[in-house]
Amino acid sequence: MYELNCAGVIPGCDRVIRAESQADLIRKAVIQAKQLGVERITPSMMDAFRLATTEAATAH
């Protein structure tokens, strides 16, 4: 499970995005950014998504 606390990464976002894969997490972050009015996802924003992504420990 991967997590992205989007506060500070996506303007106006105050949630934690979770996904099973890093690729799915980035897709969800892009969708969230566009819903919050970000018109263009820049390469630096993509880098910020990747840097802010953490791998959450999974409970077994």
The number of residues making up the chain comes to: 60
Number of alpha carbons in the 13 Å side-chain half-sphere of residue 50? 7
Domain assignment of residue 19, yes or no? yes
Give the total number of structural domains in the chain.
1
Distance CA 25, CA 4 (A): 7
How does pLDDT run across 37-58, given as a tens digit for each residue?
999 999 999 999 999 999 987 6
Domain assignment of residue 60, yes or no? no
**Span 15-33, average pLDDT:** 96
Residue-level pLDDT at 8:
85
Domain assignment of residue 30, yes or no? yes
- Helices 22-35 and 43-52, interaxial angle, to 10°? 120
List, in sequence order, every beta strand (DSSP E) within the chain: 2-5, 16-19, 53-55
